[in-house]
Amino acid sequence: MTAFSQPPETPNGVYPYLTVTGGKEAVAFYEEAFGATERFRNTNGDSGLILHSQLVINGALIMLSDDFSGGAPPPGRVTLHLQVDDARAWWDRAVAAGATVTMPLEDQFWGDRYGQLKDPYGHSWSIGQSL
């Protein structure tokens, strides 16, 4: 049995859509690491896997589902960028939640405090703050 409901209206635009293994855990991680708020979720009633989730992080919409590809090759590499007003606070929260540092958070020559992380689901995130 599959549970379907109508998601909230989404404005036209381009939104990151993450495919993960362990959708419920991924949502919990994004809530803890990046302050995400889940505004909608459809699940497969039998397995509990996420068919579609909508998360709001730092005012922007990100969509997510469990992987239903049956072992197909992983999608291409994408980095999700968070431009924030306090990079250290966002960084520390993500690392405490289990993100792995791939480029340390440092003041950069282009005028931002910037660093990169990888979440436990293989997605790359960058965090930046204009100085």
Provide the mean pLDDT of the chain.
89
Nearest Cα neighbor of 1 from 38, 51, 41, 54 is 51
Q: Where are the domains of the chain?
A: 1-68, 76-131
Q: Which CATH superfamily is domain 1-68 in?
A: 2,3-Dihydroxybiphenyl 1,2-Dioxygenase, domain 1 (3.10.180.10)
Residue 120 burial by Cβ neighbours in a 10 Å radius (0-12, 13-18, 19+) = middle
Q: Which residues contact 127 (CB under 8 A, 6 or more apart)?
A: 81, 82, 84, 87, 90, 91, 94, 105, 114, 115, 116, 117
CA 129 to chain centre: 18
Examine the pLDDT at 4 and tell me if it is beyond 60. no
Please report the pLDDT score of residue 77 as a whole number.
Answer: 67
Please report the pLDDT score of residue 69 as a whole number.
Answer: 77
> Is pLDDT larger for residue 79 or for residue 102?
102
Contact 66, 20 (CB under 8 A): yes
- Average pLDDT score over residue span 16-24: 92
Q: How many CB atoms lie within 10 A of CB 102?
A: 13
pLDDT in tens, 45-59: 888 999 999 999 999
- Average pLDDT score over residue span 84-101: 96
What CATH architecture applies to the domain 76-131?
Answer: 2-Layer Sandwich (3.30)
